[in-house]
Structure 1
Amino acid sequence: MTAPGIAAGHVRLDVAYADTSARQLAFSLSAAIREPLARCDHRFESGTVSLRLLGASHQILVDDGDRQICETVACLPGLDRPLPGSVSDESYSFTSSVEHCDAERLAEVVGDLRDRTAAHRSAGLPALLGEFPGQPLAVTAAIASARGDDIVWQTWHTYPQSAEVVTTTGELRGAGSSR
């Protein structure tokens, strides 16, 4: 399900691409919810997920009826915690990695993301891929799925000017299991 006026799937983000890089990204679980450029909401048996593209960054909102999380990876004022390699507690985990690659590898990654998000949507699962005007290798993508009572999501941020791909994985374990 998508909010009115915001397209699901592959979307052209209505903003110019800003020169950002992996080192400028910050991580937060307490940032305010931002108005997204693109959004895809989905209800699983164990809870809801909202994939939100903020441009070259993302917010993922997950609500299982007992717990709510708002994972933000962004270059936003007030977010000063650098992107960690991992964060984990009893119910939530997050990992991130940065791949440095040449233009050919970056084009492969973006092609794979287009295919992966299209396949995810074809299977009835939430997926977004945001493209910046005039920057075919600058994309932000997100997918989500459920494994039993767990809700899992992945995001990708490509930065062609710095030849980087940032990949994140988040998981809310036991979502809905206390109902």
Structure 2
Amino acid sequence: MSRRPGGPEISDDPVAVGPIATLSVAYADTSAARLGFSLDAPLQDPLAVRDAEIDGITVSVRLLGTSHQVVLDDGVHRICETVACLPEVASAVPESFQQTGYHFTSRVEQATADRFATLVEQLTALVTERSAAGFPCVLGVFPGHPHAVTAIVTDASPEEISWRTWHAYPNAGEVVVTASHLTRDRVADS
């Protein structure tokens, strides 16, 4: 573990053991317009991953650089949400998408340097808190660029499993924020 000046403890392992991970690749800024969306892209090698079981459903949150995969698997059925800059993920990220039991929304926020600094502080606290509560969460920090982060935070209720993501692009002044939820019976039906 290492500590950024004034920041949280960060795992030096490229695949995270803790909720805060320094990613093993250099930061390459992109923009919201380059991201794609898929529910059936192949699994990618993650830079950081956190897994947990929630009532018999394995939830895996996976950072792929400035993108993510969230995989829910009940041992029989699997759903894999991918938001990434990958050839396999050619569909643009929709503002809203629904499929039986699954709902996805996204938005792009404009951000200043001060807003990015505040966002990183807030995400660090949120990821740490939710992870301590037993939920799979991860915040990936790119080396040398403290505001370039990608984060995934999960939650659950008796009816659904939900997650939110943040993809920060400081050079473009953009943050892509997504929110998804999946009814528990949807995993069993997929």
* Same-fold call, TM cutoff 0.5: yes
In the other structure, the counterpart of 2:127 is 117
Matches within 5 A, 1:1-179: 6-65=16-75, 67-175=77-185
Could you list the runs of 5+ residues in structure 2 that have no partner in the other structure? Answer: 1-13
Q: What is the CA distance between 1:87 and its match in structure 2?
A: 0.7
What is the CA distance between 1:177 and its match in structure 2? 8.9
- Opposite residue 156 of structure 1, the aligned amino acid is W
Q: Higher relative CO (CA 8 A, sep ≥ 6), structure 1 or 2?
A: 1
Contact 1:61–1:69 (8 Å) recurs in 2: yes
Distance apart, 1:66 and its partner CA: 5.0
Deviations 1:102-143 (A, max 9, x none): 111121111100110011112122110000000000000011
User: Contact (CA 8 Å) 1:65, 1:176: kept in 2 or not?
Assistant: no
Contact 2:72 2:187 in 1 (8 A): no
Letter in 2 for 1:49: V
| SS class of match (2:107) | strand
Runs of 4+ in structure 1 over 2 Å off: 4-8, 64-67, 174-179
Corresponding letter in the other structure for 2:170: P
**Shift in alpha-carbon separation, 1:93–1:14, aligned structure 2, 3 A:** same
2:69 and 2:82 in contact (8 A); partners too: yes
Asked if the contact 2:101/2:186 (under 8 Å) is kept, the reply is: no
2:119 is paired with a residue whose SS is: helix
* 2:171 counterpart SS class: coil
Q: 1:77 Cα deviation (Å)?
A: 1.7
